[in-house]
């Protein structure tokens, strides 16, 4: 089991969610975050205005997926989140030891 975490532009969230659902992703968790990347002192565009990159609003997505789907799901996120401009985001993958569905107690693949 893997956990895919993605930091993306907030205004890309709906498009990413729709693409993930089309692919077959049946659940995800979103939280609000702020961040910056390599452009310290340079600029990033947010809602049409240029900012000296400080902490800009980002959406943080978490998606539990089975090992066999992880590469495709990362590709779906990148393809949808990409605008070609600085600040598009970062995606990372970690290994999960165990997952449980609270309602049923199901574990592993059956839990996602």
Interface residue with a second copy, options 32, 47, 48, 49 (CB under 8 A) = 32
Are 72 and 78 spatial neighbours (Cβ–Cβ below 8 Å)? Answer: no
Decide if residue 20 touches a second copy (CB under 8 A): no
Are 77 and 16 spatial neighbours (Cβ–Cβ below 8 Å)? Answer: yes
| Minimum CB–partner distance for residue 96 and a second copy (Å) | 5
- Render the burial of 1-38: b for 16+ CB within 10 Å, e for the rest: bbbbebbbbbebbeebbebbeeeebeebebeeeeeebe
Decide if residue 23 touches a second copy (CB under 8 A): no
Binding-site ranges for ligand ATP (CB under 6 A): 7, 27-29, 33, 35-39, 56, 58, 62-64, 86-90, 101-103, 112
| Minimum CB–partner distance for residue 61 and ligand ATP (Å) | 8
Based on CB atoms, which residue is closest to Mg ion, 10 or 37? Answer: 37
Nearest to 76 by CA among 6, 29, 2, 9: 6
Number of residues this chain uses to bind a second copy (CB under 8 A): 54
């Amino acid at each position: 089991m893997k956990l895919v975490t993605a930091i993306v532009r907030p205004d890309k969230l709906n498009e990413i969610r729709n693409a993930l659902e089309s692919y077959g992703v049946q659940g995800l968790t979103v939280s609000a975050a702020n961040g910056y990347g390599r452009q310290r002192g340079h600029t990033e565009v947010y809602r049409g205005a240029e900012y000296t990159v400080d902490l800009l609003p980002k959406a943080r997505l978490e998606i539990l997926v089975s090992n066999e789907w992880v590469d495709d799901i990362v590709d779906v996120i990148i393809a949808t989140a990409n605008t070609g401009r600085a600040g598009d985001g970062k995606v990372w993958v970690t290994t999960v030891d165990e997952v449980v569905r609270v309602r049923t107690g199901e574990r592993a693949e059956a839990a996602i």
